[in-house]
Amino acid sequence: MTITSLQVGPIMTNCYVVTHGNQTVVVDPGDEAYRIIAAIENTGCPLAAIWLTHGHFDHYTAVAGLLEQWPDTPVYIHPADVVNAPAGGGWELKFPRLSDKNQRFYREGDRISVGNVTFTVMETPGHSAGSVCLVGPGVIFCGDTLFRGSCGRTDFPDGSYAAMLRSLGRLGKLPGDYRCLCGHEGETTLAFERQHNPYLRQGMGL
């Protein structure tokens, strides 16, 4: 599995282009669709899906541009972060629902794949009601749930500090170690966070 990271948009969101076998998926295409399209084309594999860790604008702004290039692409998101309204063009905290041709919903325990690599959806509310982490073999796409030494903010309308601690506690109790690819800034590992992240440690009851 090959993972390419691009920092896109005004908040420097991490977008991930993931390739295995003859498929590519994009995680959190936050902005600058032209850069993401170029990265996808560079893989030589067709775009199979778009996976969103949550519904904040800085993680989905490039979805429209990708769908112009690949109109039949399914876009996955947790239903709690979707509204049945068109995008207003601002700094929106809910994803505008797509047509049935493109819109897909995933929930706790669902499995999604790129090539022969399978990820499991873990519901991790706190930053938003519909935040998820995507847990694969040795790697987790954390969105804005977990950052190196910290966690996502919880003061948005659908945020909850108590829910964030519960979500971080679940992540911390996963067996083994994982490479954690975060929604902003650098990556980390679960082993490092268990030792050094005060929020994750509090969630684990340490």
pLDDT recorded at residue 112: 98
Q: What is the mean pLDDT of the chain?
A: 96
pLDDT recorded at residue 81: 97
pLDDT mean over 54-77: 97
Q: How many domains does the chain have?
A: 1
Q: Which domain holds residue 72?
A: 2-203
* Residue at token pair 């993972």: 3
The answer to whether 129 and 158 have CB atoms below 8 angstroms apart is yes
pLDDT mean over 22-44: 97
Q: 109: domain CATH number? A: 3.60.15.10
Res 174 pLDDT > 80: yes
How much of the chain, in percent, has pLDDT values that exceed 90? 94
Which SS3 state, helix, strand or coil, does residue 83 take?
strand
**Residue 117 bridge partners (DSSP):** 114
How much of the chain, in percent, has pLDDT values that exceed 70? 98
pTM: 0.96
pLDDT mean over 119-136: 98
Distance CA 167, CA 146 (A): 9
